[in-house]
Amino acid sequence: MTRHADDNETWLIETGHDVIDKVASGGVSSLSAYEQLIYCLWVADYGMRNAGDLDTATDVDATFHEQGRKLAAELGLPKTLAAFDLSKPELERRFFELFDGVCAELRAI
């Protein structure tokens, strides 16, 4: 996966693109747990940046929130788990505040 972007938004777009390509060729089940979690974050980010809410994210993948929570717990990522553990309205409200910390945690893997 591409990991050269310093900016977290660019990093997620580039890394998410690689993950989306894998989804297109083999489905979400073809992804590692880490890639699945990036996909969940990408879906949430897509909804928040394009529509300003997580309803659009749910339209893309209805399980992104639940899966994000499960995968963050499985991978032992406390900041990411704390974000996905929030209710949908609270995650919407705090998404951009939490985004850099979640990205930093994911990028450290």
At 63-94, the pLDDT tens digits run 999 999 999 999 999 999 999 999 999 999 99
Residue 49 near residue 28 (C-beta atoms within 8 A): no
The model's confidence at residue 6, banded by pLDDT at 50, 70 and 90, is: low
Please check the confidence at residue 3 and state whether its pLDDT lies above 70. no
**Orientation angle between helical segments 8-26 and 88-107, nearest 10 degrees:** 90
pLDDT class for 15, splitting at 50, 70, 90?
A: very high
Residue 26's pLDDT is 87
